[in-house]
Structure 1
Amino acid sequence: MESYNCFSCGFSNPIAHTHCAKCKKSAAAAAFISNGTGSFPEGFIWPLFPRALVLGAAPADDILIPTNKIHDQHCRFDYVKGVFYITLPKNSPTAFIGGQSIRPNMKQALNNGSTLKIGDEELTITYFNGTETFSEVQNFQLKQLAEKSVNPTVCRLLHIIAFKREVINLTNSTDIYSFAVDTILRITDLDRAYAFQVITEGDELKVKEVIAKDSDLSIIEEEEFSISRSIMTQVLENQGAVFIQDADKEVTSTVSMANFNIKTVICLPLTVKNEQGERELIGIIYADKTLSTTPLPSGISASLQSLRKITSHHLVRTMQNDEANSDLNSFKHYFTNLKDEMDKIRNYLDDTSQHIVVGTSTDTSVFQERITECNEALKMLAENVKQNF
């Protein structure tokens, strides 16, 4: 497992931790602070953890700036002996440090107070380790800023913005389900997530699994999913709001939660309004955690509601595309079969013609029988076309 050393006490921590497990201090070694020149307001903070980092507009990027002027994986930062070094790939737009353009594929140090201009954003880097010349008040302010920079609510907001920005480019429902699963795992830190399509059969609602992933976003492949079926049933019966069963010892778990040692469950019902104006369930995203009893972050429900609404809206769009593609595929299959049958008749006629030319038979009844067979085959094809169109 990847790890980093806390810049305060040197303790080795898992790479995903935002606070040191030993000294409990913020794990951020520095932060970018917006100067307010671009899409983000003055004072907006991005934490910089003491490890290799990627800045970009994609949800997978460590320093997430989801704007049109920032590319996915726009640039890379390496942390070496207390200093961050920026590397700009050759194909990335020009960036500037203190007004000077950065040479591509060349590491350049970012010292305390350096200003980075990237896209429309102008960011100033502030290191949290301070110096011996700093006063006690200045060091205290740096510690406060370090803690402020690690804000899970802001992190979730950036991921929701990035999700909304990129989901519009997805053209099928499976990709949207997969992207939504990735996002919910990133903003909740749960262990795994599943996406289900809800299908109506008669008066019954049935679920069809679309995709399942672990916390590292790798796909789970298993025949039977050890999820809380009772909670899924509750979501199916009540198609309204987000369902959260938080990790709290005082809450009585359902039987299936106890059986599988599930401590925290989140279910997002994906709904649309049908022609009658009634809410209709089209999918469910389920996520849970089995090992930790730490409660979910406060305010996460609002982020999940936003994710649910965005996902539902774009699923409707792609479901229509899926239906159109399904119809198109059906036509392709039908016409391929029709062509194959016509080719068989044509080949049969060609064979008959060759026999007549070379005179392999003088019995005209043989050829008459072949013509009759072709005629019957053509009638069957014509009837099939009439019935299907």
Structure 2
Amino acid sequence: MSMIGEALTLPNGVTLKNRIVKSAMSEALGDQNNNPTQAQIDLFANWSAGGAGLLITGNTPVDRMHLEHAGNFVLDPATDREKVSALVAAGQSGGAKILAQLAHAGRQAPEAVNPRPVSISDIRLDLPGYGKPDAATEEQLADVIAKFTQSAQCAEAAGFDGVEIHAAHGYLLSSALSPRINTRDDRWGGPLENRARLALDVVRSVRAAVSPGFIVAVKLNSSDFQKGGFGPEESVKVAVMLEAEGVDFIEISGGTFEAPTAYQHSAKSQSTVAREAYFLDYAAAIKAALTIPLMVTGGFRSASVMNAAISAGKTDLIGMGRPFIADPRFAAKLLSGEIDKAPAVEQDFPPADTLPRGAVLNWFCTQLALVGETGKPDLSLPVLEGHEAYLNRIDVATERLLAARS
């Protein structure tokens, strides 16, 4: 059997049936009250039937005023428990485990959703559409920790197998780690131990509030890929700190909204190694410092590259997103040997610098919605049409959200 087909038992005793993980993607299918819709439920049923060992939900905010976008579904006491439980049951229906990815957008909350978000500092995101943040007070940071904990408890009550705490990609916990964004001079800023305090306090509080068999994972940047930001050496140190708090695995990715490395796409002209697993070299140093499993997400497509990464001890779990959109059932085909490479439709796209910012990511988000609504993507849809369709979808979702709030 190939390495990706082997089971993996996590530190808390939970066993994943194989090493393929559907990493978090923004489903943007929540309703106007930030509850899961039937399309989102059907999407997870489709993915679970596809053979992966673990599914992770898209960005699931712990605070309704700090969404990644209006289409998020939120996990808090006001959430429709029956709909969330239906989502969980769908995700588990094919034998996969399912985690809720808990997040707080911080300064990356869209201005239309929150014009004055709470962040680790008052440094504004250098992109249009985002408001000037307020630096969080001690009371607000305590509230953030409490909300992550409350959401984890809601996740366990709804039947999730665990949670993944999002401390990557520039969201609140990630920006707290960054010396470029975290300019505080109190106990939350300055040395790495202070900048890591918020993420560590969240993990510690969540771990204490849920049962021992409930998975607690963390998504961490290998690097922000920004000058003066959170870098590889600090990432290794934070990973070791997180292991000490009892996390079951760490997922490694990279980049932020301003430097979107995790969302890049590579052309066919690049070598297989160059265009696949582009965080793997960073992850190897982290893996060497840990005893808990590591998951690497970003670029994997070829079974041979995945198996080699596991065999070389650079990762334990293989995270993928876009292939699950192009073919929700590809994992079973890869594991059986029917195919030797996951779908890589993005390799046929025009170079990113010839397209509007975010166009490829938005095309995939449109396809993701189509899979939820119809059961399959429309891969013939031009990139720019998919891009525009997603922007329109988010505009409509935002209007509905604001109308529901009022």
Normalization by structure 2: what TM-score?
A: 0.24
Decide which structure has greater strand share. Answer: 1
Structure of higher RCO (CA pairs closer than 8 Å, 6+ residues apart): 2
Bigger radius of gyration: 1
Provide TM-score, normalisation by structure 1.
0.25
Q: Which structure's residues are more often helix, by fraction?
A: 2
